[in-house]
Amino acid sequence: MTTPFAPRVFSGMQPTGNLHLGNYLGAMVNWIAMQSTHQCIYCVVDLHAITVAQDPVALRRAIIEVTAAYLACGLDPKQSIIFNQSQVAEHAELAWIFNCVARLGWLNRMTQFKEKAGKDRENVAVGLYAYPVLMAADILVYKATHVPVGDDQKQHLELSRDIAQKFNMDFAGSIASHGFGEVFFPLPEPMITGPATRVMSLRDGTKKMSKSDVSDYSRINLTDSPEAIAQKIRKAKTDPEPLPSEEKGLAGRAEAENLVGIYAALTGADVSSVLGEFGGGQFSRFKTALADAAVARLSPISADMRRWLDDEGAVEAVLAEGSARARAIAAPVMREVRDIVGLLRSR
């Protein structure tokens, strides 16, 4: 099927906790690069955050902080649309329509829901269950075609495609009779970020670096001081062997592989040249170089983030303007959806 859809990128992060090196190297670096090749819409998904209980004061602060991190990392509100989800009501509105398109059986297969709900399934919010439907609405209300996500979101993206396809099929007659062409929604493509930038916990090389890890030593936050960064890297788990000189020597050594991968990503070198330089040596020398590279890359970002956080009003202004631009795309799509479904337009 040739698609009549102009390429458009959409992605989002939840405003919960601080962004860390894993978010930066795994996601932001790609998001930033795509700004010069695509029209990009980057969202702070606050409606997703409230699928689990949030303290209102902390949530408000987190929305500002994640936005400040977006800006400090290099997302450019002149090039891209940067906004928070809840200011564009069309997300929630399309999500309701999609709740009536998606099937219970599809949602029952979502592994992230099973993990997040755990044993307490009867007692989690309905919103946590419907979360991937809202995610489909986020993407499709802009008819976005490309969605950079981590591999943990792949299943949700497949669900978005299923919803788009079912909507297109269920309403094919109405879509055609309104003159909206053959397919109304594109089937959004995941852009899965490469394995080279999968950043793991500093305490356990088999677990992803995560904002929800109880140990702050497991991650490097974008706001950490140079001293904190150096200390966390010094304490990072390793094994007693020296670093290998070749890539295959990293097999089965998750912590060593992670640290070398981080160094490579930070400096733009490839893993084999990093090992060429540090292989055979002790971890301590490598860790000093790693800490220097992390500080060099992150300190301008954290300084810029502090500047934004000193002026919350400026951050809010970016979100207000981005929301207006987002709404200008979403509102006409939503009006057409109402026509297609058979709902009356407001006058």
Q: Which amino acids are annotated catalytic? A: 116, 208, 211
Q: Is 304 annotated as a binding residue?
A: no
N- to C-terminal Cα separation, the chain = 36
Q: Report if residue 90 touches ligand TRP, rule: CB under 6 A.
A: no
| Interface with ligand TRP, residue 47, by CB under 6 A | no
201 is in an annotated binding site: no
210 is in an annotated binding site: yes
Does 67 bind ligand TRP (CB under 6 A)? Our answer is no
Calpha distance 150→93 (Å, rounded): 26
229 binds ligand TRP (CB under 6 A): no
Q: Which is nearer to ligand TRP, 197 or 238 (CB)?
A: 197
Return the HEC string of the chain.
CCCCCCCEEEEEECCCCCCEHHHHHHHHHHHHHHCCCCEEEEEECHHHHCCCCCCHHHHHHHHHHHHHHHHHHCCCCCCCEEEEHHHCCHHHHHHHHHHCCCCHHHHHCCHHHHHHHCCCHHHCCHHHHHHHHHHHHHHHCCCCCEEEECHHHHHHHHHHHHHHHHHHHHCHHHHHHCCCCCCCCCCCEEEECCHHHCCECCCCCCCECCCCCCCHHHCCECCCCHHHHHHHHHHCCCCCCCCCCCHHHHCCCHHHHHHHHHHHHHHCCCHHHHHHHHCCCCHHHHHHHHHHHHHHHHHHHHHHHHHHHCCHHHHHHHHHHHHHHHHHHHHHHHHHHHHHHCCCCCC
Min separation Cβ 231 and ligand TRP, Å: 28
- CA-closest candidate to residue 99, choices 122, 129, 123, 121: 129
Q: Name which position in 97, 102, 135, 159 contacts ligand TRP (CB under 6 A).
A: 135
Residue 150 labelled as part of a binding site: yes
272 assigned to a ligand binding site: no
Q: Does 94 bind ligand TRP (CB under 6 A)?
A: no
Q: Rule CB under 6 A: which of 300-329 touch ligand TRP?
A: none
Q: Judged by CB under 6 A, how many residues of this single chain contact ligand TRP?
A: 13
Residue 10 interacts with ligand TRP (CB under 6 A): yes or no: yes
Q: Which is nearer to ligand TRP, 193 or 238 (CB)?
A: 193
Minimum gap (Å) between residue 45 Cβ and ligand TRP: 4
294 binds ligand TRP (CB under 6 A): no
Of the candidate residues 20, 48, 143, 146, the single one contacting ligand TRP (CB under 6 A): 48
Using the rule CB under 6 A, is 153 a contact of ligand TRP? yes
| 223 among annotated binding-site residues | no
What whole-number distance in Å separates Cα of residue 220 and Cα of residue 108?
35
Residue 46 makes contact with ligand TRP by CB under 6 A = no
168 is in an annotated binding site: no
Q: Which of 28, 82, 95, 147 binds ligand TRP (CB under 6 A)?
A: 147
Query: Smallest distance from the beta carbon of 71 to ligand TRP, in angstroms?
Result: 18
Name the residue among 11, 8, 18 with its Cα closest to residue 212. 18
Residue 12 binding ligand TRP, by CB under 6 A: yes
Minimum separation from the CB atom of position 191 to ligand TRP (A): 10
- Binding to ligand TRP by residue 133, rule CB under 6 A? no
Amino acid at 170: D
For ligand TRP, which residue of 65, 90, 138, 255 counts as binding (CB under 6 A)? 138
Q: Is 45 in the site for ligand TRP (CB under 6 A)?
A: yes
Give 147 or 266: the residue with its C-beta nearer to ligand TRP.
147
User: 337: number of CA atoms within 13 Å, CB side?
Assistant: 22
11 binds ligand TRP (CB under 6 A): yes
Token pair of 188 as six digits: 């959004």
Annotated binding-site residues for ATP read: 14-16, 22-23, 150-152, 199, 208-212
Residues that bind ligand TRP (CB under 6 A): 10-12, 14, 45, 48, 135, 138-139, 147, 149, 153, 156
